[in-house]
Amino acid sequence: MALALQTFSTVKDANAALKAAGTRYLGGGTLVVRAANEGDVSVSGLIRSTEPALSAITVSGREVRIGASVTMAAMARHPDLSSLARAARAVGGPAIRNMATIGGNLFAPAPYGDFTVALLALGATVGTDDGEVPIETFLAKREDNHAIVTSVGFSLPLEGGFRFLKISRVKPKGVSVLSIAAVLEQAPDGTVSSAHIALGCLADRPMRAKAAEKALLGRKLTSDGIAPALAVASDGTSPITDAVASAWYRNEVLPVHLGRLLLA
């Protein structure tokens, strides 16, 4: 059965149309169109919006606002966001990155959603017509979200403060075994003064490694300094098991890869 597609010039009108049963919002289509093609009969119609703000990237000093329709390819090539290019390029291959959007990635189930791991480490906010919420709050209740995501906002980390790692069995565009993003700040003496660490595939959606964050504070980024953080890296995790890796394996290799990221 062919899906009906309706296009609206404003997010407000698109939100109103989404109240009809069976409708889904169409961003890049890498999630919802695949679901429909694979037989999801709950999808009967697609809604999209061409409001210009959805495709805009605004950088003012360290403050960044990215429209939800911005693609991973656009993120990866933006000259002011080069520190995040690695995370954007971790999403699929070139064809997928030309379609996959920032907004859609927020809803991608594990083992997908690698860029959302980066946004979680950055402490981003998620915007809709109803306002903004912290990304951690949004992710916890994303199935209950019925408003179109319009943008994400965050502050760029200090130079060298952002780190990202994706582990996959197939290079360069394989599905994640796990992904890790960290935003670290260090005091003049080299000790960690602030740490935000986010994990992908260690739950059904990106999560913070709060025990590891706490264990890093006041420590130097040396093998001995990070040891307490690695010891608690798996606290609170509930990894997925899929064709790529088991939950046991993901938990086992997490401290290894987190250590590599922190010592990079």
178-224 pLDDT per residue, tens: 999 999 999 999 999 999 999 999 999 999 999 999 999 999 999 99
* 3-class DSSP assignment, residue 170: coil
Asked if 45 contacts 4 with a C-beta cutoff of 8 angstroms, the reply is yes
Number of independent structural domains in the chain = 3
Same structural domain for residues 92 and 70?
yes
* 3-class DSSP assignment, residue 74: helix
pTM: 0.95
The residue with tokens 């703000």 is 53
Q: What is the DSSP code (8-state) at residue 71?
A: B
Same structural domain for residues 64 and 104?
yes
Same structural domain for residues 57 and 19?
no
Which range has the worst mean pLDDT, 37-46, 74-83, 235-244?
Answer: 37-46
pLDDT tens digit sequence for 52-94:
999 999 999 999 999 999 999 999 999 999 999 999 999 999 9
For a pLDDT cut of 70, what percent of the chain falls above it? 100
- Among residues 235, 221, 105, the alpha carbon closest in space to that of 163 is found at 221
Look up the domain containing 12 and give its range. 4-49
Rg of the Cα trace of the chain?
19
Same structural domain for residues 89 and 147?
yes
